[in-house]
Structure 1
Amino acid sequence: VGTGVASMITCSIEGSILNMGYVIAGESVSSGFKLQNNSLLPIKFSVILDSLSSARAQGQQQLPQFLSSPAQRTEVVGTQNLNGQSVFSVAPVKGVMDPGKTQDFTVTFSPDHESLYFSDRLQVVLFEKKISHQILLKGAAREHMMFVEGGDPLDVPVESLMVIPVFDPKHREASSRPGPPSPEAEELRPILVALDYVQFDTDTPAPPATRELQVGCIRTTQPSPKKTVEFSLDSVTSLQHKGFSIEPSRGSVERGQTKTISISWVPPADFDPDHPLMVSALLQLRGDVKETYKVIFVAQVVTGP
């Protein structure tokens, strides 16, 4: 019975990924999904998180993800809470689904510190032996109400064991001197945006190379005078002279919303195709604090097939 029933269970989550989005560290957010029993039999189920499974606890010690190659990374359990509590939880964890009935589940994401790499895997097990569904749980947490998504990865997908400051030593030295803080001492968070302009035919202009960044404002349960996140990108005129078009270059984002910054690039007339173009601009976000991102644009022309 257990072998034939798994295919008779349907799940409301498409793609087997439940992304909980961004949460303020120390707060929680919940999301639901449904399983439906389409068989003619009652089905006993249980829900197991990989982070809590005995098999993982008894497994052999493995290299940390940041020391292994991408091809070797099979671990789906990412960053976990520092307080020892599960960052993801699900209810109910067991029960019986009657024929034709639907079971509602609630997943709660409760991160206790800032990280972009919270993850776990939820497995639905039937009759204590047959796995019917596997759902990857993902989430991110920030100390402040704003975030920027997009660009190319500049770091590893887990935390290392040491905190490395983003700003360089001379900025750190300047910030330690007496007197008012220097604007240069502010921490700059880097974002890399690579654009490939694909040229198929030298006689016909190709469409612009395009990328996107997402600026978001996280919904919070804490009282705050700031209801929006404002953003602005500098050096827009200089970027336009180098073939870039960025829209919008400034704006505001309401709580719980995101806004897309569309970036396109067409090589200017004086562009040397043998040398990729690299320019940067500062993206400022103002919410409960001010954050500055250094957006590094790397553009090149590539020949199509």
Structure 2
Amino acid sequence: MGVPEFLEVQPNDGFGTLLPLETVDLDLIFSARKAREYRFTLTCRSGINRDFPLACRGLGVRPPLELSHHTVRFGATALGDGAVATLHLSHPGSKGPRLFSFSPPQEAEISVVPRDGRLLPGEKCLLQVSFQPRLSDQQIREEAARIAHRAVLLRRQELERSRAEKAPGPQELPAGKNGKNGPRPSAKAATSAKTKVKQSPIPEPEALASPRPEDIQEGSEAYEAGRAALLYSFPGRLRRYVVPCFVSDGDLPADDPQAQAAWSPQNTLFLELHCPAVQPPLVVISNNGQNAIDFQQAALGQKVVHKLTIQNISKESLDLRSSLLDPGGPFLLLNALRRLPPGGRFPLLLAFCPALGKRHCETLEVKCRGMTLEVTLRGEGVEPLLTCCCPGGPAVGAGSGGGPLDFGYVLQKEGAASRVLKLKNRSSVEVCYSVLQASLGPPSTEDRLAVLLQGYPESRPIVGPQNHSGLCVFSVTPAGGAVGAGESQDLTVSFQPDHPSVRYADRLTVELFNKTVVCELDLRGACVSSTMYLHGGDTLGGPPQDYLPQPGPRSPQLPGPSTPVLLTLKADPHADRGPQPAVRELTVGCIRQAQPLKKNGEFHWDGLTALQQRGFSIEPSRGTVEPGHTRVITVSWTPPSGHKPYEVVQESASLTLKGDETEVYQVTMLALASTSDSPEANQERG
């Protein structure tokens, strides 16, 4: 009786019932209003009006630091959500710096930032007190164990019922014609019946044991079932925390950094927190109930999409809205939020598309009335490293161009040739790629320019002639896909012409999903109708008759029409070591057929006498070529004595190739002395 306002008696404000031989502990909480000494008497009155006086004495002191609020009452906060209160800690005195340290209870749902610090006289410190209600790990494990125990009990009942149904009962023998029991079953039949029973044993109910709470693993299916059960049946709770703030008597000594500050219990401040927790209206039902998505590693430019499903477990419809993610960041929310009815589910489609090779982390807030669900997004961008190994060459890195891929000469009537390229993924993530061909896209600027510059050696277009059938001359399989981390992928490039031509061409480009070029290869190939072919000479961009003089009457011994070939030779008569001849080379080849030839291919020149008189020399003039091999023919020209500069020497000769067919090439040689750098030529021009 007569409890003063600065004193509190707990529990139940000092009221209660005391049974015989029972002892009850009472807490007297003294909260001084002023810095002075308090003397007062408490009276405990029993039910028969007996008074028991208790003399009390207390001393109120003024702490060196002051809190702006000693009591914080948080609003109703849903599990998984959070609330933040802001207050100040000030130093109103003038007796030097003071150290402070908050000590919240262990495993509490509250936190104080900053927990420790140092205040100078007249200084203030901003404090943030956070309340984040959570289900304790022990609660979840115990609920999961209860759920598993109920499942075990149900299973035991089912087993006992099954054993009772299959248990053999008293069997009656069928009656015979005279009313007596029929013959007993044979021993073989009884043994067969026992064997059938042994083939389908029923486990003993006692063999099924219930798991203990400590046996439940975090993240397991049982653990998440326990968490979900607690969330769906959470009744709400109110907890009260008292957080002490210890204040030092002074500052740390400057001459001894290892010394400890002196702390006095009279300087201690107390912060009282009232923390009500309620059932959350929104819960995560996918991703094992976790509201954090880890996209792991992803290649730069690649988009990885994850789905997070949330459910409304309240009795009211919820209008969902979200916070804004960084517009320049890698995370995206792909779908719009909508109104969610009670019990409704909604999938959040979240994408991760990194542009920088580093770790990323953002928080997406899904808001509704009464709760803010925070979804943590994490991921790491990795630079993709895909190399292309060309036949006969080194690996080509990303962004580099490769050399030409020449298929050589193929026989028209025998089909195609193929080569294999190897893609190697040297990064730690899966890399997607695609293969592009210039012939399947619009004409490039280089091709348009090559049409205008026909006849020049540098004007060869990227895309050459196409098949008459409409099918691609060059094809690649596969045309795209993904290469796992550290794995390889083979690309098969096929050359399938359907008519003779020596100018088949295309460009193959391997690109990543972010348009990064891995390698660029120029594809080349030629198709002939005979096993023997001639390679070399100057490029003829138009009809041969536009560039070469008309040949004379064909010799009766030359079978079929001749194919014109142009060779231009330039000699330097003013070299340091004397006149140097001009040299050009032609290559004669023989294609290896599926059915080997019985003899080698042959070639020979006709009309060499006139060439030798004009200074031309051809070696060898005749010979044979084995299938699958080539021979080089060297054509040289040495200016004869008395040759005038700028005088063009023109001669022609016939080259005959004999394989499965006989082909004749009319080779026209144009030779001149190049004197552009000589002083005599300059005087002559002047």
TM-score normalised by L of structure 2: 0.37
Structure 1 stretches lacking a partner, 5+ long:
175-180
Q: Which stretch of structure 1 is more off in the superposition, 188-197 or 9-18?
A: 9-18
Mapped to 2, the partners of 1:104 and 1:21 lie a distance apart of 21
> Is the CA contact (8 Å cut-off) linking 1:6 and 1:130 kept in structure 2?
no
> Is the CA contact (8 Å cut-off) linking 2:388 and 2:518 kept in structure 1?
no
Mapped to 2, the partners of 1:206 and 1:169 lie a distance apart of 31
Match status 1:188 vs 2:188: no
Map of 1:36 onto structure 2: 424
Structure in which a larger fraction of residues adopt strand: 1
The aligned runs of 1:101-250 (5 Å cut-off) are 101-127=487-513, 129-156=515-542, 182-183=556-557, 186-201=560-575, 204-221=577-594, 223=595, 225=597, 227-250=599-622
- CA shift in 2, pair 1:248/1:18, >3 Å: same
Mapped to 2, the partners of 1:231 and 1:40 lie a distance apart of 57
Map of 1:77 onto structure 2: 463
**Structure showing greater relative contact order (alpha-carbon pairs closer than 8 Å, 6 or more residues apart):** 1
Instruction: Tell me which amino acid in the other structure corresponds to 1:38.
Output: R
> Is the CA contact (8 Å cut-off) linking 1:230 and 1:253 kept in structure 2?
yes
Structure 2 stretches lacking a partner, 5+ long:
1-299, 302-354, 358-381, 394-401, 678-686
- Secondary structure at the counterpart of residue 39 of structure 1: coil
Shift of 1:101: 2.9
Map of 1:9 onto structure 2: 386
**CA deviation vs aligned residue, 1:162-206 (integer Å, no higher than 9, x gap):** xx9x998997xx9xxxxxx954783111111111001335x7413
- Large movers: runs of 4+ above 6 Å: 3-7, 62-66, 71-74, 166-171
Instruction: Tell me which amino acid in the other structure corresponds to 1:109.
Output: F
- Secondary structure at the counterpart of residue 267 of structure 1: coil
Structure number with greater Rg is: 2
Which of 40, 46, 52 in structure 1 is aligned with 2:434? 46
> Is the CA contact (8 Å cut-off) linking 2:620 and 2:633 kept in structure 1?
yes
Instruction: Tell me which amino acid in the other structure corresponds to 2:412.
Output: A
Identity of aligned residues (%): 38
**CA deviation vs aligned residue, 1:262-294 (integer Å, no higher than 9, x gap):** 112211224333422111111111111111111
- Secondary structure at the counterpart of residue 151 of structure 1: coil
Instruction: Tell me which amino acid in the other structure corresponds to 1:130.
Output: T
Q: CA RMSD in A?
A: 3.5
Mapped to 2, the partners of 1:115 and 1:6 lie a distance apart of 43
- CA shift in 2, pair 1:73/1:303, >3 Å: closer
- Secondary structure at the counterpart of residue 572 of structure 2: strand
- CA shift in 2, pair 1:184/1:105, >3 Å: closer
- CA shift in 2, pair 1:114/1:127, >3 Å: same
Mapped to 2, the partners of 1:168 and 1:304 lie a distance apart of 30
Instruction: Tell me which amino acid in the other structure corresponds to 2:612.
Output: Q
- CA shift in 2, pair 1:108/1:251, >3 Å: same
Mapped to 1, the partners of 2:636 and 2:608 lie a distance apart of 13
> Is the CA contact (8 Å cut-off) linking 2:597 and 2:627 kept in structure 1?
no
Mapped to 1, the partners of 2:521 and 2:447 lie a distance apart of 24
Mapped to 2, the partners of 1:301 and 1:63 lie a distance apart of 34
Which of 23, 36, 39 in structure 1 is aligned with 2:410? 23
Map of 1:286 onto structure 2: 658
Instruction: Tell me which amino acid in the other structure corresponds to 1:215.
Output: V
Shift of 1:9: 2.5
Instruction: Tell me which amino acid in the other structure corresponds to 2:407.
Output: M
Mapped to 2, the partners of 1:73 and 1:197 lie a distance apart of 25
Match status 1:272 vs 2:272: no
> Is the CA contact (8 Å cut-off) linking 2:450 and 2:459 kept in structure 1?
no
- CA shift in 2, pair 1:127/1:249, >3 Å: same
- CA shift in 2, pair 1:167/1:108, >3 Å: farther
- CA shift in 2, pair 1:274/1:94, >3 Å: closer
Shift of 1:6: 8.0
- Secondary structure at the counterpart of residue 51 of structure 1: helix
Which of 87, 90, 101 in structure 1 is aligned with 2:476? 90
- CA shift in 2, pair 1:128/1:219, >3 Å: farther
> Is the CA contact (8 Å cut-off) linking 1:198 and 1:304 kept in structure 2?
no
Q: Which stretch of structure 1 is more off in the superposition, 75-84 or 133-142?
A: 75-84
Mapped to 2, the partners of 1:63 and 1:145 lie a distance apart of 31
Mapped to 2, the partners of 1:170 and 1:9 lie a distance apart of 58
- Secondary structure at the counterpart of residue 303 of structure 1: coil
Map of 2:95 onto structure 1: none
Shift of 1:67: 5.3
TM-score normalised by L of structure 1: 0.79
- CA shift in 2, pair 1:127/1:304, >3 Å: same
- Secondary structure at the counterpart of residue 292 of structure 1: strand
**CA deviation vs aligned residue, 1:212-252 (integer Å, no higher than 9, x gap):** 0011112222x465542200012334323322222111111
> Is the CA contact (8 Å cut-off) linking 1:6 and 1:131 kept in structure 2?
no
